[in-house]
Amino acid sequence: MEITSNDYYQLPQRLLAPLTLVGENGAVKAMMERRGIEERLYDYRCRAAVHNFGPLQTDALCYVTTVGSKAVAMCFEAVTTGDIDRVRLDDDALPPVPFNIDCLNPDYLKAQPETLIITNTERDCLTMMACGYPFTIAIHGGKDSDPERSLKPFRQWLDPLKRVIVCCDNTHAGRTMRQSPVSSCISIDFLGFLGVKAFLAVGVF
């Protein structure tokens, strides 16, 4: 049976780890300000936390992935070391959900976008949004990443798109994204590949 976005709506909401507003954690707020991320982008996508990275407990930025405003995953980024820890809150049998996929949720759209940007980190996704590209999602490019599987449940949200730009730098994670058959699960007119810095430098649309 094909998995769709509706399967995520049926999941019970699990409790999040203790999270606070970014502005209430000085270390996390300062990190966001250094990156030029405006407070309007924090909302439900970003929170602050004190998280355990192995034996080390430290301040962390928490990227919250939602489907229909229901939290399905959290990604913690340590302020001091940059370490990443991903925690799923949904059913492990379901494909991992791309960060910020709710930007394409028909329940929230005022107008149908034509172009989607896909990055391989939540940090790059926020950077794109801060630069004026709100229709950006992130699919992490680690060894367990499967972009095609992550996108398929949301095909109905993706099909109206005309263009997809995969913005990944020349890292292992980026190369994984570029080699993934993303086009097999999206019906589009154009699929392009460009590094994040190159995209922001030239502005392709």
Each residue's pLDDT tens digit, 3-47: 899 998 888 877 677 889 998 999 999 999 998 888 877 777 899
Integer Cα distance of 25 and 86 in angstroms: 20
Sheet with 163-167, edge to edge strand ranges? 136-138, 115-119, 163-167, 190-194
Beta strands in the chain (DSSP E): 46-53, 56-67, 70-78, 84-88, 115-119, 136-138, 163-167, 190-194
pLDDT above 90 as % of the chain: 31
pTM: 0.85
Tens of pLDDT, residue by residue, the chain (205 residues): 688 999 988 888 776 778 899 989 999 999 999 988 888 777 778 999 999 998 889 999 999 999 988 889 999 999 999 999 998 888 888 889 999 999 999 998 888 898 898 888 898 898 888 888 899 999 876 666 778 888 889 989 988 888 888 887 666 555 666 666 565 555 554 455 555 555 555 555 5
What local confidence, expressed as pLDDT, does residue 69 receive?
80
What local confidence, expressed as pLDDT, does residue 141 receive?
63
What local confidence, expressed as pLDDT, does residue 54 receive?
84
